[in-house]
Amino acid sequence: MKKLQERVDAFSRAAEAHTNAPPLVLTGPEINALLANSTNELKNYVSVSVEGSEVKGQISLPLEKYFKIWMIHTQGRYLNGAATMTVALTNSTLLVKLDSLDVNGKPLPEKIMTGLRGQNMAANSNNDPRESEFISRFESIVVTNGTIILKARENVPPPPAAVTN
């Protein structure tokens, strides 16, 4: 864990300094270790694996907190199952959306999945100023070959100063 945290910290410092840091490559077990040692509340609800170009996970999410499903009472209920998720970065916003979810080995009905697919499970991270600032340091997130690759924003020179006469 110490070596992993050192890699993440070095990447974070380089990204913050805009020094064109090399990408940070993480496996599923590394992501789970980072989650377990973070303050992010998802650590209590998700275990991640990365298979090829897919992010999969075992989830146990409180419905009332993460999903709003029209006409379904969600208070005190959990969504438990095996999920396949899309992870992306768009305009410095982290997107984590369910593509599919199997509960007890069976896919959820399409009527329910349609509502769930529209929800961003990372919305709380995007709304947290500290986490949002950290996410804004990334240019892209790519899922490939069983890894998640985080690329820092490249150093963009400031615009030229205005010349006044």
Tell me what pLDDT residue 98 has: 86
Q: In which band, very low, low, confident or very high, does the pLDDT at 155 lie, cut at 50, 70 and 90?
A: low
The larger pLDDT score, comparing residue 160 to residue 101, is at: 101
Inter-residue contact 146 to 51 (CB < 8 Å)? yes
Residue 67 has a pLDDT of: 64
pLDDT of 36 > 60? The answer is: yes
Report, as an integer, the average pLDDT of 65-90: 79
Confidence of residue 158 (pLDDT cuts 50, 70, 90): very low
Tokens of 66: 């993460």
Mean of per-residue pLDDT scores for the chain: 83
How far is the C-alpha of 49 from the C-alpha of 59, rounded, in Å?
11
- Model's pTM, two decimal places? 0.76
Alpha-carbon gap, residue 102 to 84, rounded angstroms: 9
The angle, 0 to 180 degrees and rounded to 10, between the axes of the packed helices 28-36 and 2-16 is: 90
Burial of 144 (0-12, 13-18, 19+ CB in 10 A): exposed
| CB neighbour list of residue 139: distance below 8 Å, 6 or more residues apart | 89, 151, 152, 153, 154
At 35, list the tokens. Answer: 């989650």
Q: Return the residue matching tokens 């009472």.
A: 73
Reported confidence tier of residue 107, pLDDT bands at 50, 70, 90 = very high
The amino acid at residue 158 is: P
Q: Across residues 69-79, what is the average pLDDT?
A: 73
Check pLDDT > 90 for residue 4. yes
For tokens 């080995």, the residue is 105
Between residues 125 and 140, which one has the greater pLDDT?
Answer: 140
Residue 27 has pLDDT above 60, yes or no: yes
Q: What is the mean pLDDT of residues 11-34?
A: 88
Q: How far apart are CA 150 and CA 165, in angstroms?
A: 45
